[in-house]
Amino acid sequence: GENVEQHPSTLSVQEGDSAVIKCTYSDSASNYFPWYKQELGKRPQLIIDIRSNVGEKKDQRIAVTLNKTAKHFSLHITETQPEDSAVYFCAASKNTNAGKSTFGDGTTLTVKP
Amino acid sequence: NAGVTQTPKFQVLKTGQSMTLQCAQDMNHEYMSWYRQDPGMGLRLIHYSVGAGITDQGEVPNGYNVSRSTTEDFPLRLLSAAPSQTSVYFCASSPTGFRQPQHFGDGTRLSIL
Protein backbone atom coordinates (compact mmCIF):
# COMPACT_ATOMS: atom_id res chain seq x y z
CA GLY A 1 0.00 0.00 0.00
CA GLU A 2 0.86 3.68 -0.04
CA ASN A 3 3.51 4.97 2.34
CA VAL A 4 3.87 8.68 3.12
CA GLU A 5 6.93 10.01 4.92
CA GLN A 6 6.91 13.54 6.31
CA HIS A 7 9.91 15.63 7.39
CA PRO A 8 10.83 17.24 9.64
CA SER A 9 8.83 16.03 12.63
CA THR A 10 9.41 19.34 14.42
CA LEU A 11 10.27 22.77 13.02
CA SER A 12 10.94 25.99 14.88
CA VAL A 13 11.22 29.33 13.06
CA GLN A 14 11.28 33.00 13.95
CA GLU A 15 8.26 35.08 13.11
CA GLY A 16 8.56 36.39 9.57
CA ASP A 17 10.77 33.54 8.37
CA SER A 18 9.66 30.87 5.90
CA ALA A 19 8.85 27.27 6.77
CA VAL A 20 9.06 24.27 4.46
CA ILE A 21 7.65 20.79 5.16
CA LYS A 22 8.30 17.93 2.77
CA CYS A 23 6.45 14.68 2.12
CA THR A 24 7.44 11.75 -0.05
CA TYR A 25 5.05 9.07 -1.25
CA SER A 26 5.59 5.59 -2.62
CA ASP A 27 2.65 4.91 -4.98
CA SER A 28 3.13 6.57 -8.36
CA ALA A 29 -0.64 6.27 -8.96
CA SER A 30 -1.41 8.75 -6.16
CA ASN A 31 -2.92 11.88 -7.65
CA TYR A 32 -4.35 13.99 -4.83
CA PHE A 33 -2.27 15.62 -2.09
CA PRO A 34 -3.98 17.67 0.64
CA TRP A 35 -2.39 19.44 3.59
CA TYR A 36 -4.19 19.75 6.91
CA LYS A 37 -3.49 22.04 9.86
CA GLN A 38 -4.36 20.90 13.36
CA GLU A 39 -4.23 23.37 16.21
CA LEU A 40 -3.83 22.01 19.73
CA GLY A 41 -6.97 20.14 20.79
CA LYS A 42 -8.77 20.90 17.53
CA ARG A 43 -9.81 19.03 14.42
CA PRO A 44 -7.56 18.78 11.35
CA GLN A 45 -8.63 21.31 8.72
CA LEU A 46 -7.68 21.52 5.06
CA ILE A 47 -5.40 24.46 4.26
CA ILE A 48 -4.42 23.67 0.68
CA ASP A 49 -4.45 20.77 -1.76
CA ILE A 50 -2.93 19.92 -5.13
CA ARG A 51 -3.84 17.48 -7.85
CA SER A 52 -1.35 15.62 -9.99
CA ASN A 53 -2.00 17.65 -13.13
CA VAL A 54 -0.65 20.79 -11.41
CA GLY A 55 2.94 21.49 -10.31
CA GLU A 56 2.33 24.35 -7.90
CA LYS A 57 -0.56 26.05 -6.15
CA LYS A 58 -0.59 29.20 -4.02
CA ASP A 59 -3.04 30.70 -1.57
CA GLN A 60 -1.75 33.94 -0.03
CA ARG A 61 1.18 32.95 2.26
CA ILE A 62 0.81 29.23 1.62
CA ALA A 63 2.01 27.26 -1.39
CA VAL A 64 2.35 23.61 -2.29
CA THR A 65 4.67 22.18 -4.91
CA LEU A 66 4.51 18.72 -6.44
CA ASN A 67 7.29 16.76 -8.15
CA LYS A 68 5.67 13.64 -9.62
CA THR A 69 8.92 12.26 -10.97
CA ALA A 70 10.59 12.32 -7.57
CA LYS A 71 7.31 11.52 -5.80
CA HIS A 72 7.45 14.32 -3.31
CA PHE A 73 5.41 17.39 -2.46
CA SER A 74 6.14 20.28 -0.13
CA LEU A 75 4.27 22.89 1.88
CA HIS A 76 5.76 26.38 1.94
CA ILE A 77 4.63 29.01 4.43
CA THR A 78 6.06 32.50 3.98
CA GLU A 79 6.10 35.39 6.47
CA THR A 80 5.21 33.05 9.30
CA GLN A 81 3.10 34.33 12.19
CA PRO A 82 2.60 32.92 15.72
CA GLU A 83 -0.88 31.74 14.71
CA ASP A 84 0.75 29.43 12.15
CA SER A 85 1.99 27.34 15.10
CA ALA A 86 0.24 23.97 14.79
CA VAL A 87 0.72 20.39 13.60
CA TYR A 88 0.66 20.02 9.82
CA PHE A 89 -0.23 16.75 8.10
CA CYS A 90 0.24 15.79 4.48
CA ALA A 91 -1.76 13.04 2.81
CA ALA A 92 -1.89 11.16 -0.49
CA SER A 93 -4.67 9.29 -2.27
CA LYS A 94 -5.54 7.93 -5.70
CA ASN A 95 -8.64 7.24 -7.78
CA THR A 96 -8.64 3.52 -7.09
CA ASN A 97 -8.77 1.82 -3.69
CA ALA A 98 -11.87 3.86 -2.76
CA GLY A 99 -9.76 7.01 -2.69
CA LYS A 100 -8.47 6.22 0.80
CA SER A 101 -6.02 8.73 2.18
CA THR A 102 -2.67 7.85 3.72
CA PHE A 103 -1.35 10.47 6.11
CA GLY A 104 2.15 11.46 7.08
CA ASP A 105 3.06 11.47 10.77
CA GLY A 106 2.82 15.22 11.09
CA THR A 107 5.14 18.20 11.61
CA THR A 108 4.90 20.36 14.72
CA LEU A 109 5.61 23.93 13.64
CA THR A 110 6.46 26.51 16.29
CA VAL A 111 6.71 30.16 15.27
CA LYS A 112 8.58 32.22 17.86
CA PRO A 113 7.53 35.86 18.20
CA ASN B 1 -24.90 23.06 8.42
CA ALA B 2 -23.37 21.46 11.51
CA GLY B 3 -20.80 19.54 9.41
CA VAL B 4 -19.48 16.40 11.10
CA THR B 5 -20.70 15.86 14.65
CA GLN B 6 -19.07 13.38 17.01
CA THR B 7 -20.33 12.25 20.41
CA PRO B 8 -19.19 11.92 23.10
CA LYS B 9 -16.24 14.35 23.27
CA PHE B 10 -14.63 12.49 26.17
CA GLN B 11 -15.06 8.98 27.54
CA VAL B 12 -13.34 6.80 30.12
CA LEU B 13 -13.88 3.06 29.96
CA LYS B 14 -12.69 0.07 31.88
CA THR B 15 -10.89 -2.76 30.10
CA GLY B 16 -13.41 -5.16 28.61
CA GLN B 17 -16.27 -2.67 28.33
CA SER B 18 -17.90 -1.96 25.00
CA MET B 19 -19.16 1.31 23.62
CA THR B 20 -20.19 3.10 20.46
CA LEU B 21 -18.72 6.36 19.21
CA GLN B 22 -21.28 8.29 17.22
CA CYS B 23 -20.64 10.23 14.02
CA ALA B 24 -23.17 12.12 11.95
CA GLN B 25 -22.81 14.46 8.97
CA ASP B 26 -25.39 16.70 7.34
CA MET B 27 -23.57 17.43 4.08
CA ASN B 28 -24.93 14.42 2.15
CA HIS B 29 -21.39 13.06 1.78
CA GLU B 30 -21.02 9.55 0.43
CA TYR B 31 -17.59 8.84 1.91
CA MET B 32 -17.07 8.55 5.66
CA SER B 33 -14.13 7.28 7.65
CA TRP B 34 -12.81 6.75 11.15
CA TYR B 35 -9.24 7.52 12.19
CA ARG B 36 -7.35 7.18 15.40
CA GLN B 37 -4.65 9.67 16.32
CA ASP B 38 -1.83 8.67 18.62
CA PRO B 39 1.13 10.89 19.56
CA GLY B 40 3.74 10.99 16.79
CA MET B 41 1.82 8.60 14.55
CA GLY B 42 -0.43 10.83 12.53
CA LEU B 43 -3.90 9.67 11.53
CA ARG B 44 -4.43 5.96 10.95
CA LEU B 45 -7.51 4.70 9.11
CA ILE B 46 -9.66 2.25 11.08
CA HIS B 47 -12.70 1.71 8.81
CA TYR B 48 -14.31 3.57 5.98
CA SER B 49 -17.52 3.59 3.96
CA VAL B 50 -18.18 4.67 0.38
CA GLY B 51 -21.95 4.78 0.84
CA ALA B 52 -24.89 3.44 2.82
CA GLY B 53 -24.62 -0.30 3.30
CA ILE B 54 -20.94 -0.46 2.25
CA THR B 55 -18.04 -0.59 4.70
CA ASP B 56 -14.46 -1.79 4.54
CA GLN B 57 -11.37 -2.09 6.70
CA GLY B 58 -8.55 0.40 6.89
CA GLU B 59 -5.04 0.00 8.32
CA VAL B 60 -5.95 -0.78 11.95
CA PRO B 61 -9.42 -2.42 12.06
CA ASN B 62 -8.89 -5.01 14.79
CA GLY B 63 -11.12 -4.52 17.82
CA TYR B 64 -13.53 -2.18 16.00
CA ASN B 65 -16.78 -2.63 14.07
CA VAL B 66 -18.72 -0.20 11.92
CA SER B 67 -22.02 -0.07 10.09
CA ARG B 68 -23.55 2.42 7.66
CA SER B 69 -27.31 2.08 7.56
CA THR B 70 -27.88 5.69 6.43
CA THR B 71 -25.86 8.26 4.50
CA GLU B 72 -25.73 10.50 7.57
CA ASP B 73 -24.52 8.15 10.32
CA PHE B 74 -21.36 6.08 10.72
CA PRO B 75 -20.98 4.71 14.27
CA LEU B 76 -17.79 3.03 15.49
CA ARG B 77 -18.12 0.21 18.00
CA LEU B 78 -15.42 -0.96 20.38
CA LEU B 79 -16.20 -4.58 21.10
CA SER B 80 -14.07 -5.18 24.22
CA ALA B 81 -12.01 -2.11 25.15
CA ALA B 82 -8.28 -2.54 25.71
CA PRO B 83 -5.71 0.00 27.02
CA SER B 84 -4.09 0.00 23.55
CA GLN B 85 -7.26 1.62 22.23
CA THR B 86 -6.66 4.74 24.31
CA SER B 87 -6.51 7.43 21.63
CA VAL B 88 -8.26 10.37 20.03
CA TYR B 89 -10.77 9.23 17.42
CA PHE B 90 -11.76 11.38 14.47
CA CYS B 91 -14.61 10.84 12.08
CA ALA B 92 -14.37 12.44 8.64
CA SER B 93 -16.47 12.74 5.52
CA SER B 94 -16.07 13.89 1.92
CA PRO B 95 -18.40 14.08 -1.09
CA THR B 96 -16.68 11.04 -2.57
CA GLY B 97 -13.42 9.41 -1.65
CA PHE B 98 -11.72 10.67 -4.79
CA ARG B 99 -9.59 13.78 -4.92
CA GLN B 100 -11.69 15.54 -2.33
CA PRO B 101 -10.65 17.01 1.02
CA GLN B 102 -12.02 15.43 4.14
CA HIS B 103 -14.11 17.28 6.72
CA PHE B 104 -13.28 16.19 10.25
CA GLY B 105 -15.36 16.13 13.40
CA ASP B 106 -14.06 17.54 16.68
CA GLY B 107 -12.86 14.14 17.87
CA THR B 108 -13.56 11.84 20.81
CA ARG B 109 -10.86 11.51 23.44
CA LEU B 110 -11.07 7.95 24.77
CA SER B 111 -9.20 6.55 27.75
CA ILE B 112 -9.22 2.86 28.63
CA LEU B 113 -8.21 2.01 32.19
Per residue in B18-47, pLDDT (tens digit) is: 999 999 999 999 999 999 999 877 899 999
- Render pLDDT for A34-89 as a digit per residue (tens, 0 to 9): 999 999 999 999 999 999 888 999 999 999 999 999 999 999 999 999 999 999 99
Note if the bond before B101 is cis, omega within 30 degrees.
Answer: no
Query: Which residue did the predictor score with more confidence, B23 or B2?
Result: B23
CA A52/CA A65 separation, integer angstroms: 10
SS3 B30: coil
Query: Per-residue confidence at B97, pLDDT binned at 50, 70, 90?
Result: low
Residue A97 neighbours by CB under 8 Å, 6+ apart = none
- The contact set of B with A (CB < 8 A) is 31, 33, 35, 40-45, 48, 50, 56, 58-59, 90, 96-102, 104-107
Whether A49 and B101 have beta carbons less than 8 Å apart is answered as yes
Interface with chain B: mutation pick from A38, A100, A107, highest number of B CBs within 10 Å: A100
Looking at chain B, the whole-number percentage of residues with pLDDT higher than 70 is 98
pLDDT of A6 above 80: yes
**pLDDT for res A83:** 96
Nearest C-alpha in A relative to B89: A43
Nearest C-alpha in B relative to A47: B101
Q: Percent helix, strand, coil in chain B (nearest 5)?
A: 5, 50, 45
